[in-house]
Structure 1
Amino acid sequence: MATDALEELRACLREAAADGFAGVLEDSLGPRMRAATDALLEQGAGDHEAELRHFRGGLERFEERGRQDRSRVVAHGLRLGMGLAAQRSDAQGGQAGRGRVVKADLGRRLGQAAKTREALEGGSLDDLLGTAGEGEGEGAGSEATSEAPAKKKTKTAAAKRKTKAAAGSEGSEGSDAAPSAAKKKSASKKKGAAKKKSAAKKKSAAKKKGAAERGPDPTAGLDAELLERLRASALRRLASVTTLSGVGKRTAEKLAARGIETIEDLAFLLPLGYEDRRHTVALQEIVEGESAVVDGVVRSFRSGWYGGRYSATMRIEQIQENGARIGLEARWFHPVGGLGQRVSTGDTVLLAGVVKHFRGKLSMVHPEILDPELGLGIGLRYPQVEGVGQRTLVRLCRAALERLQEAGELADPLPPALVRRHQLIGVLDALGQLHEPDEAISDEALRALQRRESPGHRRLAFDEFFFLQLALLRQRGLYRAEPCALPPLVEGSFDRERLRACLPWEPTAAQWRVIAEIEGDLGRPKPMLRLLQGDVGSGKTAVAFAAALAVIDAGAQAAIMAPTEILAEQHLRSMEPWCEAAGLRIGLLTGSTPRAQRTSLLALLAAGEIDLLVGTHALLVADVEFANLALVVVDEQHRFGVEQRGALREKGAAPHLLVMTATPIPRSLALTAFGELDVSVIDELPPGRVAPDTQVYAGARSLVRARRALVERVLAGDKAYVVCPLVEASEAVDASDVEATAAAMRKLLPKHAVGVVHGRMVSREKDEIMTRFRAGELQILVATTVIEVGVDVPDARAILIEHAERFGLAQLHQLRGRVGRSAGRSSCMLHTASEANSDAGARLSVLAESGDGFVVAERDLELRGPGELFGTRQSGVPRLRFASFSGEGMKMLVAAREAALAIVEDDPQLRRHPQLRLELELRTGDAQLWAGESG
């Protein structure tokens, strides 16, 4: 890069940062930036060419559209400055890899989008870039992110180089050059000091302006004593388990392997079970199979290794009132530390465990030997931690609880009024009830503990639901606080007749209802955040097209992102004729798009010559630039993480967001996984769509019968799918595979063509097979779940899913949706080797009994639980450990959402609720503010 142009651009970036980029158009900064960028591009920009071009384009759009496009200029400015800072650090610091460290650290900061934007608009880009003033004689990119020792080392190295360079200069030019150099250095220092002073003034003013726009820091205005107590409380909770007595390095490592590293982790490690050990039971009153505490006199004890296996046996006796003796045998099959030293013949012992009959004798296997000095009480059973015994866990959990209790009332994050309104107990009381249940507890209360329905469990579950909703609602608030990319559409501006003219059918009443809801969103100044649910074949794609048509007619662009190339190509095939009828320009971008075609497509996209872009994750690549993106549609929402959805959203200045799924989402899961979104449902199938008949084939010879039924459909002229769990045979898994099944189908139907498609094939191969199947060259397609979404072959009317018990109900419902996409009878055959009356058979019968995806999804949720919220845990959102969706859980979730919504609407940034904010940030892993870093 040309030195002068590079230094000019660095200087411009620093000045722009000091003014929060607000003055880019108001003074000479804009032209200077453009001139420097153009010069660098003409003379060769090296590694930074792509980012320079993005930044240059952002400046042009900023000039055309004004402040509404400011965030994009800022983002590119930050990335560009980041690269320049890293480059300069390498050049000045002489440290190999130093620039990479700076760049990586700034990259992490860049990933925190909301915080980055706040920092930028507050005028602190200079700090983020690490670009110190020229007069300081320091590397422009290193100090902002390095620790003090690194600073010192960099300065020393730079100083040595300067000394060496000066010595060389004196040797070659003579001493006459020294006064001139000194004058230049002095003038440079004065100029640098003046620049620094001016920049400091601008930065100070910008900070004040940014603070006014953002509102006060969440800790600002708090009583200093309260703030200090809040921070102390946070540090107390996050303290290492090694601060507890008796926890050394080895114990800490064993706990850490179970995810237990802090005092809070221990306090929230709840018992899995509770046993009533308050009374001993006479052996003649024992109920077989139930837990009991028995006492008796040790009559014999032996232990040792026999045939390579450990065994210990203790025989105890009880003497009844009538003098009769009843014995019980306790057995252990693994060593119990110090067991031989703890008991002797003639001792009285207390044993707790499950009593069974073994060879005509009462026996206990691996009973717990209770300490008589501690007395009887409620027995606790904690989760297993390898290498840490139950007694140790009991002691550590209680010690951790005592440590939290030192925080007093600050340990409870919920406002007292909220606790009273929902009839909750305090969080410390809840933990105390769960770790140290009262010995005088009633039998009913003990049963509630055992069922995890106690007031303590209820409080912790409410907290999880509440903070989950708080996080989701704050995310929605932050996004909707940004100015929308598209001015609100005027009421009635949506042309329904134009939509009708594009579609080959009349939309259903349910589709029109959802289109009206989207139209209402587009008429508001805030970005749309909407989840569109619709069963397979309900017409979600047409609704997405209607939304795209509305924003494109308003002069903007739209993008549709699908999780697979097959689904993206299906969207293109569906929408191409609609776009042609509407006069819209549509493009497809996937990982398989040829390089030359991709380059041309991106140029058209950046120039605004493409109205609607359909693609996969390839849309997220940095060089994919839209001229004016105003609508983002994400299909099969649950297959994307929050970061991926957010990355596409960042390509437009707060575009409208419509997310779609054909996987029906129960309301409870919708509120948890997508609580920041409004929900629309298409609950009606288009005319001519008939739900397939579903039959379960269970038992030993069921596969033969199921394949015979499929053959009958193919011989009748229907195309058919066969879905297998595996691509190839596996010794570890007893299930059918694609290759063997395809061979079997060729034997059964020698006159019909059989194709194979699975995830290991390259896109070109999959496309070729799907094209042949669609065209009728293949009559049977043997596949894995790669066909779950995005495959639309109307004359395929039969599907056989082998070993269906290996799939979830919601996934099976999706696969079933590959048929029944046209008029005429269609069939879905579910095979399982299990018997019909088995758990697997009963689960599959849900699909046979109902074709309603929402009924299936609710049942799937009950049977399998929510998992990781569709397998994609959301970052910045607390996870659920204690809450459940069954029974009262749903009512609690709704109540928690209403409570969170009331608080967020009244106090969006939680500035008046510092304890709530602290708790939320602790739960989401973002509590740096409270560790004293806020200043």
Structure 2
Amino acid sequence: MLSLQDSVSLISGVGPKRVTALASLGIQTVEDLLTYYPTRYDNFEIRSLATAGDQEKLTLKGTVMSEPVIARFGYKKNRLSFRVLVDQDVVMVTFFNQPYLKDKIELGKDLAVYGKWDAIHARLTGMKLIAMDSGELAAIYPANKQIKANTIKKFIATAFKQYQHVIATLLPPALITAYSLLPRAQMIKEMHFPSDEHTAKLARRSAAYEEFFLFQLRIQALKRENQAEDGLSILYHNDELKTFIGSLDYELTGAQKKVVNEICRDLRRPIQMNRLLQGDVGSGKTIVAAIAMYATITAGYQTALMVPTEILAAQHADNFARLFEGLPVSIALLTGSMTTKQHTQLLKQIKQGGVNLIIGTHALIQDSVEYANLGLIVTDEQHRFGVNQRQKLREKGEHPDVLAMTATPIPRTLAITAYGEMDVSIIGEMPQGRQPIETKWLRSNQTGVALEFVLKQLQQGSQIYVVTPLIEQSESLDVRNAEELYEKLKQYFEPEFKVGLLHGRLSNDEKEQTMQLFKDNQIQLLVSTTVIEVGVDVANATVMMVYDADRFGLAQLHQLRGRVGRGHKQGYCLLIADPKNQVGIQRMQTMVETTDGFVVAQRDLELRGAGDVLGQKQSGLPDFRVGDPVGDLKMLQTAQSDAADLLATENWDTQTDNLPLVQYLQRHQLQTHFD
């Protein structure tokens, strides 16, 4: 019996080599092949010159008026030219490096050519000869060196012919009707072989909604499964917590209080918390996490804070030691650079419950680390974790609550897709007295002005970060590098001010030592790559100077900017950049115009796309083939709501109409409780 889960090797014409080639594109099953949708369509409908726009791709039909001539130039380069009478106009047609077409072009015969129209010179740069009876939209597929797009298209046609009768519609009939969508078999046919432009658009809308709905259904089901599990009911001591909050040197903002209440409510509930805490740089996420961790400790549980770097782990350990001084909080620092003896002793203490606040890198969730009674795991800057990685984290210990923090503001668009299985809390305001960073964009010929400003800041007792993209010389990129810049700035500022160097190729000890010298103000100006991007806190630093700023993403620049102005002094961000295109200019303008991280993140999303913003492989974002989570945001939100509604419907998974959907979920190895 035929099944869409059959291997593509069962498709006529697909041998072992083709199986390997298709696998390189992620195509292993018949369903993979049938849903390998085209990225665009070329319209081969014949047009008149009256409607042709300059530089537009189109198809012209006419009579050949001159013999085709081949001119050769350079190594293996040639040009095939001939004239065509289109209506009453003579058009010169040129094909590059396709001399074999000469035999298909006959004087006095009619033919159709697809190409790019040059209206000024009345010339068509040909791309392909089109069959005279063709009025079709031609699907264009992403391919690679192992397999051509036309071969993929041929296999899709064969597979559809063989399997069209076993293509079940996955979406519930009520949704198909409500949104006027195509049944799945028809949708797949029209995606690959559209009847006309209108039907192609309808098929694409149907495929985009199906893609969003199936993804959201998996995410929502995962969320329901997690909430169905027994978690810890952390009954913290409210009086002790209030006393701790009251002892702080400042009052929490309204947003911080709201988020603390959301987290504390989750701690008490007997289900496993899975919450994402979003907040801009400097909005006060760390103290919120500290309150949650202290609450957990008052209930007799251990808590762990996981951070991406050892520098940040050490900083947190120092800060929390001061914050919890005099309280029954025992802090341990667990990192990869510990000696074997230290590591073994600490693991023993953790297992026996001798420490109740463990701070470290990803070493915290390794199998060798056993906790006495882990109640809460907090992760800092773990926004690059995907769904599966976050799920693994939740399985540590006896279902501990999980609070993930990120200072990279994530637009609503991405929160729905990347974090659909999490509850989201947002700190949307800054603490009182926190001054916005002043940001200036300067061209490279204005670097002298920037250095003069930096000198004045140094003379006033402040410290400076200088960031550059590369460590050493690169022939492919005309950018300054940290080592060269370090030498130049030493000549400029020393001996009056000490210049330091920090980059990713230093050992952990060297990094820690350099960072500590900067914290202690024994280094006044620190030249660095982006190893200082995340979380490092030096209150006396007032200027972030970024060379070749157009080489960084907006979110990265915003993170860097957040490293300064963390004390009582005004902070400044100087961006040195000569962007080569309009997108680069827009990015620099965005940084100057706003310090709101959510605005920056949304702009970054619009300019770069979802995968680039979070890092496609680690983002948790699916590789949507049709839907655009930015452009199709309303559809994405609708799909999320529809998926949640379906899962909340009693016995939805036993209804006959939904069986194909249930089987789809089972095929994708989602073992969940639907009740």
TM-score scaled by length of structure 2:
0.91
> CA 1:821 to 1:320, structure 2 compared with 1: closer, same or farther past 3 Å?
closer
Evaluate the alpha carbon distance shift between residue 524 and residue 370 of structure 1 in structure 2; reply closer, same or farther with a 3 A threshold: same
Q: Please tell me the residue identity of whatever aligns with 1:530.
A: R
CA distance in 2, matches of 1:601, 1:391: 60
Conserved 8 A contact 1:569-1:588: yes
For the residues of structure 2 that align with 1:875 and 1:850, how far apart are their CA atoms? 25
Partner of 1:311: 78
Report deviation, 1:921.
4.8
Per-residue Cα deviation, 1:499-520 (whole angstroms, up to 9, x for no partner): 2255333322221111111111
What does residue 48 of structure 2 align with? 281
SS of alignment partner, residue 637 of structure 1: coil
Q: 2:647 aligns with which of 904, 908, 914?
A: 904
User: Aligned runs of 1:732-881 on 2, under 5 Å?
Assistant: 732-750=476-494, 751-834=496-579, 838-867=582-611, 870-871=614-615, 873=617, 878-881=622-625
Q: Which residue of 1 aligns with 2:125?
A: 365
Partner of 1:431: 188
- Which structure carries more relative contact order (alpha carbon 8 Å, separation 6+)? 2
Counterpart CA distance in 2 for 1:619 and 1:919 is 35
Tell whether the 8 Å contact from 1:798 to 1:826 is kept in structure 2 after alignment.
yes
Distance apart, 1:317 and its partner CA: 3.1
- In 1, Cα distance between the equivalents of 2:257 and 2:247? 15
Shift in Å, 1:911: 5.8
Q: How far off its partner does 1:494 sit?
A: 5.7
Change (3 A) 1:534 1:299: same
Quote the residue 1:124 is aligned against: none
CA shift for structure 1 position 530: 0.7
The Cα of 1:553 is off from its aligned counterpart by 0.8
Give the Cα separation in 2 of the matches to 1:811 and 1:764.
25
Q: Does 1:487 align with 2:237?
A: no
| Residue aligned with 1:639, SS | coil
* Matches of 2:29 and 2:107, distance apart in 1: 43
Partner SS state of residue 324, structure 2? helix
Three-state SS of the structure 1 residue aligned to 2:80 is strand
Distance 1:854 1:670 in 2: 12
Aligned to 1:159: none
Whether contact under 8 Å (1:794, 1:821) holds in the other structure is yes
User: Bigger CA drift: 289-298 or 769-778?
Assistant: 289-298
Partner letter of residue 156 of structure 2?
C
Q: Residues 644 and 615 of structure 1: is their aligned pair in 2 closer, same or farther, counting only changes over 3 Å? A: farther
Q: How does 1:251-400 map to 2 (within 5 A)?
A: 252-281=19-48, 287-290=53-56, 291-297=58-64, 299-303=66-70, 306-318=73-85, 326-335=89-98, 338-356=100-118, 360=121, 362-372=122-132, 374-386=133-145, 392-400=151-159
Asked if 1:401 corresponds to 2:160, the answer is: yes
Once the two structures are TM-superposed, the CA of residue 475 in structure 1 deviates from its matched residue by 2.1
| CA apart distance, 1:391 | 5.0
- Aligned residues between the structures: 668
Contact persistence 1:714–1:779 (CA under 8 A):
yes
More displaced 10-residue stretch of structure 1: 253-262 or 860-869? 253-262
Runs of 4+ more than 6 Å apart: 874-877
1:726 lines up with 2:501 in the alignment: no
Change (3 A) 1:882 1:317: closer
Question: 1:469 matched to which residue of 2?
Answer: 216
Structure 1: any 5+ residue segments left out of the alignment?
A: 1-228, 930-935
Change (3 A) 1:562 1:828: same
* CA pair 499-364 structure 1, distance change in 2 beyond 3 A: same
CA distance in 2, matches of 1:356, 1:848: 40
CA contact (8 A) 2:304 2:377 kept: yes
- Aligned mates of 1:654, 1:581 — CA distance in 2: 30
Q: Using a 3 Å threshold, how does the CA distance of structure 1 residues 280 and 749 change in structure 2: closer, same or farther?
A: closer
Instruction: Return the offset for 1:640.
Output: 3.3
- 2:452 matched residue in structure 1: 708
- Letter of the 1:890 partner, please give it: L
Tell me by how many angstroms 1:375 deviates: 3.8
Structure 1 residues 764 and 910, CA, compared in 2 at 3 Å: closer, same or farther? farther
SS in 1 for 2:290: helix
Q: 1:654 to 1:297 in 2, by over 3 A?
A: same
Q: What code does the residue aligned with 1:332 have? A: F
Give the AA of the match of 1:350: A
After TM superposition, the score normalised by the length of structure 1 is 0.67
**Aligned pair 1:894/2:637, yes or no?**
yes
Q: Structure 2: 5+ residue runs without aligned partners?
A: none
Q: Which amino acid aligns with 1:537?
A: G
CA offset at residue 772 of structure 1?
A: 1.2
SS in 2 for 1:659: strand
How many angstroms apart in 1 are the aligned matches of 2:601 and 2:534? 17
Instruction: Write the deviation string for residues 388-420 of structure 1: whole angstroms up to 9, x where unpaired.
Output: 666555443333333342115x2x111111222
1:115-264 paired onto structure 2 within 5 Å: 232-235=2-5, 238-240=6-8, 242-248=9-15, 252-264=19-31
Give the C-alpha shift of residue 471 in structure 1: 1.8
3-state SS in 2 of match to 1:839 = helix
RMSD: 2.9
Task: Go from structure 1 to structure 2 and tell me whether the alpha carbon gap of 1:891 and 1:343 turns closer, same or farther (over 3 Å shift).
Answer: same
Q: Does 1:421 align with 2:183?
A: no
CA distance in 1, matches of 2:353, 2:371: 7
Partner SS state of residue 721, structure 1: strand
CA distance in 2, matches of 1:427, 1:334: 41
- What's the CA shift for 1:385? 4.7
Q: Distance in 2 between matches of 1:773 and 1:608?
A: 35
Structure richer in strand, relative to its length:
2
> 1:553-597: CA deviations, max 9, x gaps?
111111110111111112112211222232210111001122222
1:5 match: none
SS in 1 for 2:457: helix
Q: Which secondary structure state, in structure 2, belongs to the residue aligned with residue 588 of structure 1?
A: strand
Instruction: Tell me if the contact between 1:711 and 1:748 (Cα under 8 Å) persists in the aligned partners.
Output: no
Cα distance in 1 between the residues matched to 2:625 and 2:452? 46
| 1:333 positional shift | 2.5
Structure 2 distance, partners of 1:378, 1:764, is 61
Q: C-alpha distance in 2, partners of 1:788/1:401?
A: 50
Larger radius of gyration: 1
Deviation track 1:615-636 (CA, whole Å, cap 9, x = no partner) reads 0011122221110001111111
SS in 1 for 2:579: coil
CA distance in structure 2 between the partners assigned to 1:876 and 1:703 by the alignment: 39
Structure 1 contact 468–877 (Cα < 8 Å) conserved: no
Say whether the 8 Å CA contact 1:315–1:327 is kept in structure 2: no
